[in-house]
Amino acid sequence: MNSTFKTDVVIVGGGPGGAASAVFLAEKGLKAIIIEKEEFPRFHIGESMTGECGNMVRRLGLTEAMDNVPRTIKPGVIVYGQGGKNSFEIPVMRRNEAGELEQTFTWQVRRGEFDQMLLDKAQQDGTVILRGKAVKVLTDETGTPCGVQVRRDDGQLIDVLAEVVLDASGQTTFLSTQGITGEKERGNYDRQIAIYTHVKGAKRDEEDHTLIFYEKKNHWAWFIPLDDETVSIGVVTPSDYYRDTKEDMREFFLREIHKINPQLSVRVPDVSLVEEVRATSNYSYHIRRFTGKGFLCVGDAHRFIDPIFSFGLHFALTEGKLAADAIAGYLLDGVGQDQENPFAEYERYCELGMNTIQDVLDCFWEQPTAFAFFVHSRYVDDFIDLFAGRVYQEQPSRGLQAVRKVNAKQLGLQQPVLEPQPQH
Ligand SMILES: Cc1cc2nc3c(=O)[nH]c(=O)nc-3n(C[C@H](O)[C@H](O)[C@H](O)COP(=O)(O)OP(=O)(O)OC[C@H]3O[C@@H](n4cnc5c(N)ncnc54)[C@H](O)[C@@H]3O)c2cc1C
């Protein structure tokens, strides 16, 4: 007979999405159990935050705790064009109460320590962390998810029963593999590989911007300072390009960082690798119908588009807050109890933000010249907002409308008409 636990919400995955959801649920007085299969701290990629992601860290009450984890202050992102000749910078700015832009900063973090800190915060706030792997979703007689079965390292099986199952399992997309959500559809930036590690000895600028080096479509590199000594560097290319070199990952990485862009080469004349060289491939996907009676997904558990402009952590933390609000409305105030899908509005809102970033990325990759013109000449403020993560625009800004117009033209679709916008 399996042991059985009961709680309000069972969360699969103790990464940023799961831990943030738990913190926000605890604020509402709801109990959660997080199932996490890995021992923390563990290596994870995804180290540069957007401005609004930084605000979400502040909202989680972690401003002071950020001084105790390895991190750097990120004033913005600089994108170097092919050959390193041109560049544009997008500073991290927030909107003040008057709606004006003002300078702020966000962070770049080592995920091992950052994720541990977030999970510790969830635990301090009352969430139970259950070490083990979620192996099966449990359903009631109507087929509605009502818990998960967990396998511990010693083989013991535990049933965790809950009012709501929240999937924050990242790229393993637990509820999709269980057939609860829609299927995993390939994203626009599938069939690519990212090969990355941490280095010491890199030449640093005075300020610790996230640097992006563009070589050609879907072929680029990142440089993300993580602490006083360590920099995260990654190279992203089509998977076929990597395979054709017949190099191992380390050889490939060391050769590419000296070749991809002169602005990267000058920063890495002599670096030592302080982590193993790792790779992630085929990371771009989209799962639809990721909410329903008894379940919802946050972060990578339902969609990941492309890592170039660092939106992953932002979506994981923001959706953690949105999911907690939706669950609290449902369980405590009866919102949507009479509806077939009580979390439909949460799903619509998540897709609004992710679709915005999909459109921005499509424009960047397909029309880089138009994109650069929009960013540093035509719609500067709108793009500062987009890059900061202010992406839930019910009324698209003129910058976003321009992006959609260019994308539609590229696809030969009818072009959306630019609508007048109120000035900020
Ligand atoms: C190459 C690359 C570069 C990136 N760079 C950036 C960046 O610079 N900035 C940024 O913001 N984002 C970046 N991202 C994205 C970022 O890594 C993710 O979006 C982010 O980690 C998502 O958080 P999450 O909580 O949804 O998932 P995760 O952080 O992946 O957490 C999921 C957790 O669930 C656990 N888990 C999974 N399955 C189970 C199971 N069955 N049972 C129990 N536990 C389970 C895992 O062990 C893990 O701890 C990058 C992504 C890639 C691929």
DSSP one-letter string for 181-201: S--EEE-TT-SEEEEEEEEES
Query: pLDDT tens, 286-310?
Result: 999 999 999 999 999 999 999 999 9
Classify residue 408: in a domain, yes or no: no
Q: What angle (nearest 5°) sits at the alpha carbon of residue 111, between those of residues 125 and 76?
A: 105
Can you tell me whether residue 211 is helix, strand or coil?
strand
Phi-psi region of 132 (alpha: psi -120 to 50; beta: other; left: phi over 0): left
Can you tell me whether residue 324 is helix, strand or coil?
helix
Q: Are residues 277 and 307 in the same domain?
A: no
Whole-number pLDDT of residue 85: 87
To test ligand 1's pocket by mutation, which of 11, 44, 45, 232 has the most ligand atoms within 8 angstroms of CB?
A: 45
Contact 398, 418 (CB under 8 A): yes
Give, for 148, the enclosing helix (H) or strand (E): strand 145-151
pLDDT of 416 strictly over 70: no
Whole-number pLDDT of residue 412: 77
Nearest residue (by CA) to ligand 1, atom 1, is: 194
* CA atoms of 294 and 394, how far apart (whole Å): 27
Give, for 278, the enclosing helix (H) or strand (E): strand 278-281
Query: pLDDT tens, 307-362?
Result: 999 999 999 999 999 999 999 999 999 999 999 999 999 999 999 999 999 999 99
Q: Are residues 143 and 20 in the same domain?
A: yes
For residue 419, name the pLDDT band (cuts at 50, 70, 90): low
For the chain, the distance separating the N- and C-terminal CA atoms, rounded to the nearest angstrom, is 62
**411 burial class (0-12, 13-18, 19+ CB within 10 angstroms)?**
exposed
Its sign, for the CA torsion 271, 273, 274, 279, is: positive
- Buried-state track 72-83, b at ≥16 Cβ within 10 A, e below 16: bebbbbbbbbee
pLDDT mean over 27-45: 98
Preceding omega of 41 cis (within 30 degrees of 0):
yes
Nearest residue (by CA) to ligand 1, atom 52, is: 307
For residue 2, name the pLDDT band (cuts at 50, 70, 90): confident
pLDDT, the chain, mean: 95
Closest among 316, 367, 417, 293 to 20, alpha carbons compared = 316
Q: Are residues 182 and 236 in the same domain?
A: no
Whole-number pLDDT of residue 415: 58
Q: Are residues 302 and 276 in the same domain?
A: no
* CA atoms of 328 and 307, how far apart (whole Å): 31
Whole-number pLDDT of residue 410: 85
For residue 123, name the pLDDT band (cuts at 50, 70, 90): very high
* CA atoms of 198 and 231, how far apart (whole Å): 6
Nearest residue (by CA) to ligand 1, atom 2, is: 307
pLDDT of 421 strictly over 70: no
Of the three residues 281, 306, 327, the one that is the final residue of a domain is 281
Give, for 116, the enclosing helix (H) or strand (E): helix 111-124
Percent of the chain at pLDDT exceeding 70: 97
Q: Which domain holds residue 161?
A: 3-70+110-186+284-348
Percent of the chain at pLDDT exceeding 90: 94
Query: pLDDT tens, 63-80?
Result: 999 999 999 999 999 999
Cβ atoms within 10 A of the Cβ of 270, count?
A: 8
Closest among 103, 94, 180 to 137, alpha carbons compared = 180
**What 8-state DSSP symbol labels residue 339?**
S
171 Cα: distance to centroid of ligand 1 (angstroms): 6
Query: pLDDT tens, 204-222?
Result: 999 999 999 999 999 999 9
Which residue is associated with the tokens 């059985």? Answer: 4
Which residue is associated with the tokens 């009479």? Answer: 338
Cβ atoms within 10 A of the Cβ of 145, count?
A: 24
**What 8-state DSSP symbol labels residue 390?**
-
Q: Are residues 313 and 224 in the same domain?
A: no
Identify any residues that bridge with 87 across adjacent strands, giving them in sequence order. Answer: 80
Q: Are residues 265 and 333 in the same domain?
A: no
Q: Are residues 255 and 323 in the same domain?
A: no
pLDDT mean over 255-274: 97
Q: Are residues 165 and 198 in the same domain?
A: no
pLDDT of 372 strictly over 70: yes
Q: Are residues 180 and 219 in the same domain?
A: no
Q: Are residues 32 and 123 in the same domain?
A: yes
* CA atoms of 220 and 212, how far apart (whole Å): 7
Classify residue 36: in a domain, yes or no: yes
**212 burial class (0-12, 13-18, 19+ CB within 10 angstroms)?**
buried
303 Cα: distance to centroid of ligand 1 (angstroms): 11
Residue 411, token pair as written in the block? 């696809």
Q: Are residues 216 and 243 in the same domain?
A: yes
The CATH number given to whatever domain includes residue 137 is 3.50.50.60
Beta strand extents in 13-144 (DSSP E only): 32-36, 71-74, 76-80, 87-91, 93-95, 101-103, 106-109, 128-131, 133-139
As for how many domains the chain has, the answer is 2
If one compares 121 and 415, the residue with the highest pLDDT of the two is 121
If one compares 189 and 128, the residue with the highest pLDDT of the two is 128
**115 CA: nearest ligand 1 atom:** 29
141 Cα: distance to centroid of ligand 1 (angstroms): 33
To test ligand 1's pocket by mutation, which of 36, 166, 281 has the most ligand atoms within 8 angstroms of CB?
A: 36
pLDDT of 28 strictly over 80: yes
89 Cα: distance to centroid of ligand 1 (angstroms): 26
Query: pLDDT tens, 44-57?
Result: 999 999 999 999 99
Closest among 107, 316, 115 to 224, alpha carbons compared = 107
Classify residue 406: in a domain, yes or no: no
Whole-number pLDDT of residue 417: 56
333 Cα: distance to centroid of ligand 1 (angstroms): 31
pLDDT of 424 strictly over 50: no
Classify residue 63: in a domain, yes or no: yes
Cβ atoms within 10 A of the Cβ of 96, count?
A: 10
Classify residue 328: in a domain, yes or no: yes
pLDDT of 199 strictly over 50: yes
